[in-house]
Amino acid sequence: MPLQPTRDDKFSFGLWTVGWQARDPFGEATRGPLDPVEAVHKLAELGAYGITFHDDDLVPFGSDARSRDGILAGFRKALDETGMVVPMVTTNLFTHPAFKDGGFTSNDRGVRRYALRKVLRNMDLAAELGAKTLVLWGGREGAEYDVAKDVHAALDRYREALDVIARYSEDNGYGLRFAIEPKPNEPRGDILLPTAGHALAFLHELERPELFGINPEVGHEQMANLNFAHGVAQALWHGKLFHIDLNGQHGPKFDQDLVFGHGDLLNAFALVDLLEHGAPGGGPRYDGPRHFDYKPSRTEDYTGVWASAAANMRMYLLLKERAQAFRADPRVQAALTESGVLELARPTLDEGETYRDLLDDDRGFDADAAGARGYGFVRLHQLAVDHLLRA
């Protein structure tokens, strides 16, 4: 039964996903709160291997030490009972009104300092629970008005904060890796580091760039109408795909957080194929958690919540099954060859060839003939669709 998830599939969910009470900008909550302990048990039953959280998801903002300890004890017990792990932890720097102009890049220095303390403290918890990755989503780092944010200074402050965080982890022996999660907008009119590309560029400027990667999210890139599989491929090429958020989205509109595969199905197929098999001509695969960062639709009750959690994993496994068949099909391999897809792995210059050699090698090339060649891309793509649909 290949569509039954197992721990080896490394499926993980945020507490805030199945626990979302479905309050949206125009409506009240339609579901009651979910006990984190129940979430652990239920997700384990469904086949997940991990659970993740923002500090405030698990321990409500402002809890005293006693409540905190009680909550943590119960949560750890649930993990022990189920064998579930906490592969990633993240910090809420967006819900409380104090963060309304950002955390690390708020125009209010007191807030910036507070945000940094909040993350440092959460790292203690992350380490304690064995998390390997800390995700950094700067959802409020941005502006509605161009004059309201000094982007140059903001990037300085962002870097400052991330350098402190890295030092703290290293000094304490936490061994955490950090994954920046880009998003173009919402809740801010424009968010800093809006795409996978901007985040990848940014992290090169840090003191310890090797500790930083990205956590791209399907819907976030698609809100800018970018090709998500392409963005992930570039992240892998940089060696920076440290974590991934899977969900569904229908192009540039509000952040929908649908079930994975319930948005752009063809691109989801390409993504799973890439994560599982690497690029056709070789290249790294992704072996971290398959993390679902979605929201069960507001129309659903808890039966629907668990059905939607299961649907995420089912979609991934379905796409994986089809991608395996696609890769294994000799007709596909022939078509990839004919289309030149596999040839692209071959360097443009021969080994040892210089640009002088290249410049001299002008005679053999017939530009018009090269322009007349058919690449057979539509046929190749139809083969992929046929495998996806098992036609």
**Token code pair at residue 24:** 């949206």
| Cis, bond preceding 187 (omega within 30 deg of 0) | yes
Nearer CB in complex with a copy of itself: 74/302: 302
Which part of the chain contacts a copy of itself (CB under 8 A), choosing from 33-41, 70-78, 81-89, 258-266? 258-266
Nearer CB in complex with a copy of itself: 64/348: 348
In whole angstroms, give the CA distance from residue 26 to residue 8. 40
**CB-CB contact of 18 with 54 (8 Å):** no
- Residues 197-256 interacting with a copy of itself (rule: CB under 8 A): 197-202, 204-205, 223-227, 229-231, 233-234, 236-238, 250-256
250 is a catalytic site residue: no
- Residues 25-54 interacting with a copy of itself (rule: CB under 8 A): 25-30
Nearer CB in complex with a copy of itself: 72/98: 98
**CB-CB contact of 293 with 245 (8 Å):** yes
Which part of the chain contacts a copy of itself (CB under 8 A), choosing from 34-42, 68-76, 77-85, 272-280? 272-280
**CB-CB contact of 221 with 193 (8 Å):** no
- Residues in the interface with a copy of itself (CB under 8 A) total 169
Reduced to 3 states, what is the DSSP secondary structure of residue 55? helix
Which one of residues 261, 275, 286, 313 is an interface residue with a copy of itself (CB under 8 A)?
A: 261
Which one of residues 37, 72, 151, 325 is an interface residue with a copy of itself (CB under 8 A)?
A: 151
- Residues 332-361 interacting with a copy of itself (rule: CB under 8 A): 336, 339-349, 355, 358-359, 361
Strands 212-214, 177-181: pairing is parallel
Of these residues, 55, 57, 255, 257, which one is catalytic? 57
**Cβ of residue 242: shortest distance to a copy of itself, in angstroms?**
14
What does 91-133 look like in DSSP terms, one character per residue? Answer: ---SSSGGGTT-STT-S-HHHHHHHHHHHHHHHHHHHHTT--E
57 is a catalytic site residue: yes
- Residues 177-196 interacting with a copy of itself (rule: CB under 8 A): 184-187, 189-190, 192-196
Nearer CB in complex with a copy of itself: 87/213: 213
**Distances from the Cα of 328 to the Cα of 277, 314, 331, angstroms:** 11, 21, 9
Q: In what order do the strands lie in the sheet with 11-14?
A: 212-214, 177-181, 133-137, 88-90, 50-54, 11-14, 290-292, 245-246
Nearer CB in complex with a copy of itself: 38/150: 150
